[in-house]
C-alpha cells in the first residue's frame, strides 16, 4: 500500500488498534517525509527548477486540502477510536512539528541549487565540482566576533589602590567575609553593650557569626598570624543591612590599611595618606584631617580631599563644601594591638579604611553605586 493509500484510510481500516501500532505508523510517515526531502538537500536541485520542486514537495505534504498531513489529521486523528485519541493526538502534534521542515522558506534555505559543473569535460572529479557551490565554505566571510570582557571598574580601582601601597612596601592580606562576632566587634574594642555597635548595620548569620561589616577584623587576624612589624592592606567585600540606593549597597568593597612598627606616629599616618591621595586623585589634591571616632583607633580621624570636580570651589559632588570625605583612619588603639597579640608598650600603629566603590564613583564620575552590581553590559563595556 502506498503512503497516499494509507493516509486515505482510517486506523480501523488499517488494522491499527493499539498504541504501538500508532507509533510505528507515524514513524513510517516521518521516514517517508525525510526520504523525500533528504536527497534534495544533499544533492541539490537544478537551479531553474529549484523553486518549483520545493513548492511541489511542500504542497504534497502541507497543502491544507489534500496534503498528506491534513489527510493524517482527517482520517487518522479525527476518526480514531476514542481510546486511541490521546496517543494519536500526541503523535500527530509531533508530526506537525517535524513537518515544519517542509515549509517553503525552510526548503528554499536547505535545498541548494545545483550549479553546472565548473569544468565539465574534466575526467577526474574535483571536489569543487562534486559539492554544490552553496554548500562550500565561503572563506572570504569574516569570522565570528566574540565580545571580549574587561576588568570591572571596582576591581580596576581596587588594583590601582593596591598598586600604590605595594609600591610603598605594603603587602596584601585577606580574611573571611563570614566572620565571627568576636573578630568583627569584640577584638576591635566594640563590646556588645557599646552603642558604637549600632553604627554597623550588621547582617547576622547566627548569634556568633556575621557577614563582616568592615575589613577591620582582618587587622586582628593578620596581627595574630604575622606579628609586628606589619605593613599591610586588606581589600575585600563587606556587608551591611542597608537599603540599596544611589550611595548604599548591602554589599560593598573596602580596603583597610595597617602599619605597625616601633615608633609609628600620627605623622606617618598623615604623610602616607596624603601621598596616597595625591597618587590616586592627582598631585593637585590637598588633604584635610578632621577628628572623628572609631572604637579601634585613638585618636581617630576622617580624611577629606579637596574636591576634584570643582577644585574646592563648591559643586554638586562636594555639596558646595569644597571637600569630599574619603576615609576613616586613626592610631591603632593599644587594646586592639593587645588583642592581636602585639605588645602596645613596644609597638604602635596606624590604620585606615576606605570604600572602594566610592573611589570608583569619584574617579569615573558615576552617580549611582547600583550600576556596579547590575551587570549591565552597556555600563560595563565603557571601562
Ligand atoms: N572600619 C571602619 C569603617 O568601616 C573604617 C576604619 C578603618 C576607620 C580603620 C579607622 C581605621 O567605617
End-to-end alpha-carbon separation of the chain, Å? 69
Q: Ligand 1 center to residue 300 CA distance, Å? A: 9
Nearest-atom index, ligand 1, CA of 199:
12
Residue with the three cell numbers 612596601: 169
What span, in angstroms and rounded, lies between the C-alpha atoms of 215 and 201? 14
CB 108, CB 50: distance < 8 Å = yes
* Residue 75 covered by a domain: yes
* Residue 143 covered by a domain: no
Residue with the three cell numbers 572563506: 139
Do 130 and 177 fall into the same domain? no
Number of domains in the chain: 2
Do 55 and 186 fall into the same domain? no
Q: Ligand 1 center to residue 225 CA distance, Å? A: 21
Do 205 and 315 fall into the same domain? yes
Q: Where in the sequence is the domain holding 219, given as residue range(s)?
A: 153-380
Cβ of 297 less than 6 Å from ligand 1: yes
**94-106 residue pLDDT tens:** 999 999 999 999 9
What would the grid cell of residue 355 be?
Answer: 570604600
| 121 — pLDDT class (breaks 50, 70, 90) | very low
Cβ of 252 less than 6 Å from ligand 1: no
Do 180 and 312 fall into the same domain? yes
pLDDT of residue 44: 87
- Decide which of 108, 135, 162 is a domain's last residue: 135
Cβ of 352 less than 6 Å from ligand 1: yes
Mutation choice for ligand 1 from 179, 198, 200, 216, CB with most ligand atoms inside 8 A: 216
pLDDT of residue 120: 47
Do 190 and 331 fall into the same domain? yes
Do 63 and 112 fall into the same domain? yes
Cβ of 239 less than 6 Å from ligand 1: no
Do 67 and 99 fall into the same domain? yes
Do 230 and 313 fall into the same domain? yes
Three-class DSSP labels, the chain: CCHHHHHCCCHHHHCCCCHHHHHHHHHHHHHHHHHHHHHHHHHCEEHHHHHHHHHHHHHHHHCCCCCHHHHHHHHHHCCCCHHHHHHHHHHHHHHHHHHHHHCHHHHHHHCCEECCCCCCCCCCCCHHHHCCHHHCCCCCCCCCCCCCCCCCHHHHHHHHHHHHHHHCCCEECCCCCEEEHHHHCHHHCCCCCCHHHHHCCCEEEECCEEECCCCCHHHHHHHHHHCCCEEEEEEEEEECCCCCCCCCCCEEEEEEEEEEECCCCHHHHHHHHHHHHHHHHCCCCCEEEEEEEECCEEEEEEEEEECCCCCCCCCCCCCCCCEEEEEEEEEECHHHHHHCCCCCCCCEEEEEEEEHHHHHHHHHCCCCHHHHHCCCHHHHCCC
Q: Ligand 1 center to residue 347 CA distance, Å? A: 20
- Decide which of 82, 102, 135 is a domain's last residue: 135
What span, in angstroms and rounded, lies between the C-alpha atoms of 224 and 153? 33
Do 16 and 102 fall into the same domain? yes
pLDDT of residue 237: 98
**42-73 residue pLDDT tens:** 888 888 888 999 999 999 999 999 999 999 99
Pairwise pLDDT comparison (149 vs 231), residue with the higher score:
231
**270-307 residue pLDDT tens:** 999 999 999 999 999 999 999 999 999 999 999 999 99
pLDDT of residue 127: 53
- Decide which of 76, 100, 135 is a domain's last residue: 135
CB 310, CB 318: distance < 8 Å = yes
Do 173 and 127 fall into the same domain? no
**318-328 residue pLDDT tens:** 999 999 999 99
**149-200 residue pLDDT tens:** 889 999 999 999 999 999 999 999 999 999 999 999 999 999 998 887 887 8
Cβ of 202 less than 6 Å from ligand 1: no
On the question of pLDDT at 204 being above 80, the answer is yes
Amino acid at each position: 500500500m502506498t503512503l497516499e493509500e494509507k493516509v486515505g484510510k482510517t486506523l480501523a481500516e488499517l488494522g491499527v488498534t493499539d498504541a504501538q501500532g500508532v507509533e510505528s505508523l507515524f514513524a513510517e510517515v516521518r521516514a517517508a517525509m525525510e526520504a523525500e526531502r533528504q536527497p534534495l538537500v544533499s544533492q541539490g536541485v537544478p537551479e531553474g527548477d529549484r523553486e518549483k520542486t520545493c513548492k511541489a514537495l511542500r504542497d504534497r505534504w502541507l497543502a491544507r486540502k489534500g496534503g498528506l498531513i491534513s489527510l493524517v489529521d482527517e482520517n487518522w486523528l479525527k476518526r480514531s477510536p476514542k481510546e486511541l485519541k490521546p496517543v494519536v493526538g500526541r503523535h500527530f502534534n509531533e508530526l506537525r512539528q517535524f513537518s515544519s521542515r517542509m515549509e517553503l522558506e525552510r526548503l528554499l534555505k536547505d535545498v541548494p541549487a545545483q550549479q553546472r559543473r565548473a569544468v565539465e569535460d574534466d575526467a577526474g572529479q574535483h571536489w569543487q565540482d562534486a559539492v554544490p557551490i552553496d554548500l562550500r565554505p565561503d572563506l572570504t566571510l569574516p569570522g565570528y566576533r566574540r565580545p571580549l570582557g574587561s576588568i570591572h571598574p571596582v576591581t580596576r580601582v581596587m588594583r590601582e589602590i593596591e598598586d600604590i601601597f605595594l609600591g610603598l612596601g605594603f603587602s596584601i592580606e585577606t580574611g573571611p567575609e563570614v566572620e565571627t562576632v568576636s573578630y568583627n566587634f569584640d577584638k576591635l574594642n566594640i563590646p556588645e553593650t557599646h552603642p558604637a555597635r549600632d553604627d554597623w548595620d550588621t547582617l547576622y548569620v547566627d548569634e556568633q557569626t556575621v557577614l563582616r561589616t568592615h575589613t577591620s577584623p582582618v587587622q586582628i587576624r593578620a596581627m595574630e598570624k604575622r606579628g609586628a612589624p606589619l605593613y599591610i592592606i586588606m581589600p575585600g567585600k563587606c556587608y551591611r543591612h542597608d537599603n540599596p540606593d544611589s550611595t548604599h549597597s548591602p554589599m560593598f568593597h573596602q580596603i583597610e590599611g595597617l602599619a605597625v612598627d616601633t615608633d609609628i606616629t600620627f605623622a606617618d599616618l598623615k604623610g602616607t595618606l596624603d601621598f596616597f591621595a595625591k597618587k590616586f586623585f592627582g598631585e593637585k589634591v590637598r588633604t584635610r584631617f578632621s577628628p572623628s571616632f572609631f572604637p579601634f583607633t585613638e585618636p581617630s580621624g576622617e580624611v577629606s580631599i579637596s574636591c576634584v570636580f570643582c577644585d574646592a570651589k563648591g559643586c554638586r559632588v562636594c555639596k558646595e563644601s569644597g571637600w569630599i570625605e574619603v576615609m576613616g583612619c586613626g592610631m591603632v588603639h593599644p587594646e586592639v594591638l593587645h588583642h592581636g597579640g602585639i605588645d602596645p608598650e613596644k609597638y604602635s600603629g596606624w590604620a585606615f579604611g576606605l570604600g572602594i566603590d566610592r573611589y570608583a564613583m569619584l574617579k569615573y564620575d558615576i552617580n549611582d553605586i547600583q550600576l556596579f552590581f547590575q551587570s549591565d553590559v552597556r555600563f560595563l563595556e565603557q571601562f
